[in-house]
Amino acid sequence: MKAKIKITLKRGVLDPQGKAIEGALASLSFTGVDNVRQGKYIELEIDETDKTKAKAKVDAMCQKLLANTVIENYEVDLV
Amino acid sequence: MKSAIVLFPGINRERDMFKALTAVGGTEPKFVWHTESEIPECDLIVVPGGFSYGDYLRCGAIAARCPVMAALRRHADHGVRVLGVCNGFQILIEAGLLPGALMRNANLRFVCKHVRLSIENSSTFFTLGMSVGDVVSCPVAHGDGNFFADPDTLERLEKDNRVVFRYAEGSNPNGSINDIAGIVNEAGNVVGMMPHPENMIEPLHGATDCRPLFESLLNAA
């Protein structure tokens, strides 16, 4: 089973990289762009056929390593 | 004073820390490699600066999960003093030994310069030789030193006098919340800071402002 993990900064946490991207888009004349937020995307293969068990495992991975839950949220998609 | 310096691949400030501890403390620290499961008995464990694991995933994230960190945690739980500097501070935070998070500098630039650092708490093992309100010059060199904590954690840190170092007014190089440059854990035996005091203790460094910090270690031992 493949896990697709999206990690984003929590709302309210300043994202200077997102701000810089926003500025660069504006300098390329893309108007009407707001609230750019940059995140991470991680893909992994997991040796598990049961979706519930796989979800629990990937959740634990996110909690323990992949995301910093002080500042980041994560979403897991199993396919 | 017996001390140990833990090493991870990509750490590059261990020699500076070794020299500072030897120059002021008179005894040479032991180096402990990240794969070790034991740290020799000592009074102080230092996690030095650098770029452990190339800052992959998040600064300090991989190092914080190395075998040697389990040993460091055991020692810390038993009251051994732990000091984390720069990447070492990031590692201690990632390991959960200190609260908050260290994010990308607000101006997105790597800062390498001297800042003015205000001593906010002079009762920790690393600041005993200083007085609250003392301002010292200290180098910083980091890209991810922007301290962040949720409002509850921040309030607790401030209320319990656990902010040890603050960037003096106008000196905040990275956007840290409340100008926080260094903090101490609840038990008082784990200190982390972004600036590099080990590079401000010899006349050849330009000044010896931070030597009293290392002298504090001797008085605390």
pLDDT in tens, A37-71: 999 999 999 999 999 999 999 999 999 999 999 99
Domain ranges, residue A12 = 2-78
Q: What is the mean pLDDT of residues B142-166?
A: 97
Please, what is the Cα angle at B57 between A22 and A37, to 5 degrees? 20
The predicted pLDDT at position B150 comes to 94
B76 band by pLDDT with thresholds 50, 70 and 90: very high
Query: What percent of chain B has pLDDT above 90?
Result: 97
pLDDT tens digits along A4-22: 999 999 988 989 889 989 9
Read off the CATH number of the domain in which A58 is found: 3.30.1280.10
* Contact: B103, A66; criterion CB under 8 Å: no
Residue B75, pLDDT > 90, answer yes
Which of the pair, B218 or B125, is modelled with greater confidence? Answer: B125
Distance CA(B11)–CA(A71), nearest Å, equals: 25
> What's the total number of domains in chain A?
1
List active site positions of B: 86, 196, 198
Chain B, nearest residue to A42 by Cα: B57
Q: What is the mean pLDDT of residues B66-92?
A: 97
Overall CATH class of domain B3-220:
alpha beta
* Contact: B150, A17; criterion CB under 8 Å: no
Distance CA(B144)–CA(A20), nearest Å, equals: 16
Q: Name the residue facing B106 among A16, A64, A68 (closest C-beta).
A: A16
Chain B, nearest residue to A11 by Cα: B150
The predicted pLDDT at position A9 comes to 94
B221 band by pLDDT with thresholds 50, 70 and 90: low
Distances (CA, A) of A5 to A68, A73, B17: 13, 10, 38
* Contact: A14, B175; criterion CB under 8 Å: yes
Q: What is the mean pLDDT of residues B184-207?
A: 97
Q: What is the mean pLDDT of residues B144-149?
A: 97
The predicted pLDDT at position B57 comes to 95
Chain B, nearest residue to A13 by Cα: B148
Residue B220, pLDDT > 80, answer no
Q: What is the ipTM of this complex?
A: 0.84
Q: Name the residue facing A16 among B99, B101, B108 (closest C-beta).
A: B108
Can you state the angle between helices B14-25 and B211-220, rounded to 10 degrees?
A: 60
Q: Name the residue facing B103 among A20, A64, A71 (closest C-beta).
A: A71
